[in-house]
Structures are given as structure tokens and as C-alpha cells.
Amino acid sequence: MLELSNVNVYYGPIHAVKNISLKIEEGEIVTLIGANGAGKSTTLKSISGLEKCEAGEIKFRGENIHSLTPTNIVKLGISYVPEGRRIFSKMTVMENLEMGAYTRKDKKGVKEDFEKIFSLFPRLKERKEQIAGTLSGGEQQMLAIGRGLMSRPQLLLLDEPSMGLAPIIVKEIFSIIENINKEGISILLVEQNANMALKVSDRAYIIRNGEIELEGKSKEMLEDERVKKAYLEG
Amino acid sequence: MEQVLQQLINGISLGSIYALIALGYTMVYGIINLINFAHGDIYMIGAYVGYAVTRFLGLGFVPALLISMATCSILGILIEKVAYKPLRNASRISALITAIAVSLFLQYTMMYFVKPDTRTFPDVLSSNKISILGGKALLDTKNIYIILITIVLMLLLQYVVLKTKIGKAMRAVALDKDVAQLMGVDINRIISFTFAIGSALAGAAGVLVGVYYNTINPLMGTVPGLKAFVAAVLGGIGLIPGAVFGGFFLGMVETLVSAYGGSIFKDAVAFGILIIVLLIKPSGLLGKTVKEKV
């Protein structure tokens, strides 16, 4: 459903993403793993329209999206949950979710989706009227994912959802990611926690210095000696 | 005691004006981190629009207020599009200098068209003095109008910012522009809207001042503009309640200083307060101290 061909992104003089090609089929969880600064987040930002893709093509369901604005990309059904959660800290939990549904006009559907999010994350329901900045790290991540789902995406881009969270919360978040995928939403997951990411995903790409170094089935990657050495041990 | 009460009433009226102008400063700052020094001149133009509507069209106070607010909001949007938008990614100092240039441009363009002379604002609001507290203080009905209109406008603003979709989007943009964009918010539209609202409030303040003090001139925006800026910083720049608090606080202080023989010092006191706040609590009295993220 999503296909990147030879995508290049620059941060000023820095060539952050070099000729990256990857694709995601309907219903898949695909993970993009790599070290800090390898170009993972930049790739997601270029898909969501926050960073300009200077050369190459990004196609979503056959349509070229690399010159669209973030707003139009959301409307097409791609939702990006940014690194570091970036919830609207001074707004309430409910207002954050409402912002997630900003582009939608179907009030009834939006209402149903609030309930859906609350059943997925019961803790958010209890804290509906709370200021989002007062939530714990795990709850903030849940809110960020919930907010991302409120646009009713077909493809969810998750940027380091496990960052800074306790192992038990990380497990919870990953099981939620699997549940979201079971609802039919395809997921592109960027992670530094390669172990967890490979366990929940179907396929994986390993990115290094802005280039794809390795790609394949996640199960096979978990057994791959090179991957084990570089990303799974220690 | 009577005199204090009387002065407090005057102080609240003056404070209303400062608060209305300060709101525009603070909202624009909240959204694009720009101190819009042309804001005081929008207030001046608001006063002139009110003057034109009442004098030449012969309309009453309420239409003057509404037409002035509408004109100023369009002017605000235009100024942003022409002068500030091209500098959105430039350094903050460039935008600031541009704001000062816009301010001078508005002042002297107006001076060219309306002449530098002071004009007398038509008396469109009847002024009755009501004695209250058994004759201990006199309440001018104009004071009541100013205060009531300010309160109504502030409640409206509060409603828009807290309850409406566009208000929520404004707050989201103020908190995190990139993420607001990811939610599908059109940043340009929100910025225009912010300028429109802030300028409309300044326009209202202009008409109120015309009605209250009766005289207007093309440079009338400079000092109240700066004072409103002081008020916004005093309350905490970027914070709406801060602007309201700062405006009323400054209005009171100024009136009391003048009442007790210090009228030549009143401007010095206002800017003295700014210096003290910047030294002691730069985030403003209602602001939280934010550590710079590294």
C-alpha cells in the first residue's frame, strides 16, 4: 500500500536518507530498525510530509504523495505518531484526541472512535479531563497512539513508541500495537528496541547511515548472526 | 477612601483598554513568537475607523465598534500576510525589526491621510454620572460601558479559545506547530485567525478610548501599545489570563500613581515595572519558569 523508491532527504547539508526504497503491504507490520541517527525518523517524516523528499518517489495506494502537505497526507489515511510522544501537554486528554480527529467531519463516527480508543486504552478514559502533561510516560504514549488513530488511518507510522518507558509498559504498548494491526491497520514501526520490534513485525528493514543495509522477514532476522551481533545483543 | 474608590473605577477602565490590546500581543506571541510592535497602531486605526463611522456615516456606538473590529481584523490578516509571513523562517530579530517598520508605516501613512492634528471623537455614548455609595463616588456610565464591553469580549474570546474547534487548533499550534500540522491543522489559517482576533480586540479598544477620552491622533497608539506590551509581559507573555491580569494591574497602578501626585511619573512607573519583572520573574507573574530544552 505504501512504496518508497529511491527516497532522498537532506537536513541542510546533511544527506540524512540516501536512496531508500521500501514497501508495506496491506495488513502488515513492517519495522525499520537502526542506531540513533541512522535516518529512521527522517524516513517517517518524509512519508508524513514534515520533511521534504528531494528526490525519489513515495506512493500510497498508487498515488504520488511526496509533494503533498502533512494535512493532505493525513486525509489520505496515513497517521504519524511522532518520536517523544509530543502530546499537547497543556490540553486535556480529550482535547488531544479531538485534535487527532481534526480533519474529520463525521461527528457520529468520531464519537464512536472515542469509545474505541477508550476501550483500547481504559486508562485514558479514567483520565479524560486531565491535563495531558500530567500523565505518566506510558499513558502519554498511549495518548499519542490514540490521537494518531483518531484520524482513522489505514497506515500508522509509529516512531520509537518504546522510548523511555519501563519494560513492562513497553510490553503493553507492543501488545496494543498488535491489536491495532489486527483491526486491519497497517503499521510502519521505527524502533531502537530491535528485539521487540522484530518479534511483533512481519518484515524488517535495517537502516544504517541513511541507507538500507538489510531487509527480510522479521523471524529470519532474529536468527541472523549479523543482526544478532549488531542490534540484538547488549 | 472615596478618592481611592473613584480612582479604582478609573483604573479598571484604563486597565480594560490595556488588557484588550495586551491580548493581541500575547496571542500573536503565543502562536509565532513575534512581538508585533505594530499592534498599538492597529488600535489607533481602530479609533479612526470608529471616528469615521460615527462622524461621516452618522452611525451609533455599536455599529462603530463592530465595523472597527471587522476592519482591524482584515488589516491584521493583511499585515501578517505581507510583512510577517515571508519572514516566518527568518531570525526573530528580522521579524521584530519588520514589526517596528510596519508600526512606523501605519503611523505616518495615517498621518498623511488624516493630518497629524488631534481630532475630537463624536459623543456617541451618553454620559451620565451616577453617584454611588451614598454620594461617596461618581460612576460615569461610560466607565460601565467600557468595563462591560471588555468583559463581554473577554468571555467571547475565552469561549472561542477553549471550546471551539479553531480555538483548540490555536492552542495546539501554540504548543507544537509540527504536530498540529500532523493532525491536519492548516497553520497559515490559524495564524491569520489569531491576527484577526487580536486585531479586532485592538480595534474595539481604539473605539472605546475614542469614546472615553474623546481625542484621537495618528500617534496615539505608540504609548498605549508599549504599555499593553508591558502588561502582556507582566502577566506572562503568551498567556491569555496573564494579559488580562497585566492589563488591569497596570491600569490600576497608573491611575493610583497619577491620583496621588505622581502623574508625571506614571509612564516611568509602568516601564519601571517592566524592568523589575524582567529582572525578577521574566516569565511573568502568572508564567511558569520554563527551562530551555537542550
- Residue A206's Cβ-count burial label (10 Å; 0-12, 13-18, 19+) is buried
For B179, nearest residue in chain A (alpha carbons): A86
Residues 6+ apart with CB under 8 A from B258: B266
| CB-based contact B175 A48, cutoff 8 Å | no
pLDDT tens per residue, chain B (294 residues)? 677 888 888 899 999 999 999 999 999 999 999 999 999 999 999 999 999 999 999 999 999 999 999 999 999 999 999 999 999 989 999 999 999 999 999 999 999 999 999 999 988 887 778 777 777 777 888 888 899 999 999 999 999 999 999 999 999 999 999 999 999 999 999 999 999 999 999 999 999 999 999 999 999 999 999 999 999 999 999 899 999 999 999 999 999 999 888 888 889 999 999 999 999 998 998 887 655 444
pLDDT level of residue A136 (50, 70, 90 thresholds):
very high
Q: Which fold has domain B2-280?
A: ABC transporter involved in vitamin B12 uptake, BtuC (1.10.3470)
Q: What is the mean pLDDT of residues A4-24?
A: 92
Site of grid cell 489569531: B194
* C-alpha distance from A69 to closest chain B C-alpha (Å): 9
Cβ atoms B224, B209 nearer than 8 A: yes
Closest CB from A48, A71, A99 relative to B168 = A99
CA nearest to A147 within chain B: B183
Distance from CA of B81 to the nearest CA of A (A): 19
Q: Give me B184's grid cell.
A: 491536519
Q: Where are the domains of chain B?
A: 2-280
Question: What is the pLDDT, as a whole number, of residue B1?
Answer: 66
DSSP state of A22: E
Mean pLDDT confidence for A15-35: 94
Dump pLDDT digits (tens) for A147-166.
Answer: 999 999 999 999 999 999 99
The nearest alpha carbon in chain A to B172 belongs to: A88
For residues B38 and B201, is the Cβ–Cβ distance under 8 A?
no
Cβ contacts below 8 Å, chain A against chain B, sum to 57
Contact assignment for B182 to A98 by CB distance below 8 Å: no
Q: Are A40 and A232 in contact (CB under 8 A)?
A: no
The residue among B171, B183, B185 with the most chain A CBs within 10 A of its CB, best to mutate, is: B183
Q: What is the ipTM of this complex?
A: 0.91
**Residue A214: all three cell numbers together:** 538489510
CA nearest neighbour of A97 among A122, A79, A120, A124: A124
Residues of chain B with Cβ-Cβ distance to A143 below 8 Å are none
- Is B188 in CB contact (< 8 Å) with chain A? no
Chosen for mutation from A46, A71, A74, A131 (greatest number of chain B CBs closer than 10 Å) is: A71
| Contact residues for A87 (Cβ-Cβ < 8 A; gap 6+) | A96, A132, A133, A135, A140, A143, A144, A147
Q: Between helices A107-120 and A167-182, what is the axis angle to 10°?
A: 140
Chain A residues touching B290 at Cβ < 8 A: none
Closest CA to B266 of B10, B6, B2: B10
The residue among B245, B269, B179, B212 whose CA lies nearest residue B26 is: B245
What per-residue confidence (pLDDT) applies to B291? 53
Is B169 within 8 Å of A74 when comparing Cβ atoms?
Answer: no
Task: Give the model's pLDDT for residue B293.
Answer: 44
Average pLDDT score, chain A: 93
Nearest-angstrom CA–CA distance, B286 and B294: 24
Structural domains in chain A, sorted by start: 2-232 (3.40.50.300)
For residue A86, the chain B residues in CB contact (below 8 A) are 176, 178-179
**How far apart are the C-alpha atoms of A151 and A144, rounded to whole Å?**
12
Q: Out of B171, B175, B185, whose CB is closest to A102?
A: B185
pLDDT value at position A103?
Answer: 94
Coarse DSSP helix, strand, coil percentages of chain B, rounded to the nearest 5 percent: 75, 5, 20
Give CA–CA dist A66/A60, Å, rounded: 9
Nearest CB among A48, A89, A90 relative to B182 is that of A48
Burial class (CB in 10 A: 0-12, 13-18, 19+), A229: exposed
Per-residue pLDDT at B64: 96
Q: Does A151 touch chain B (CB under 8 A)?
A: yes
Partners of residue A84 in chain B, C-beta under 8 Å: none
CB-nearest to A100 from B178, B183, B186 is: B183
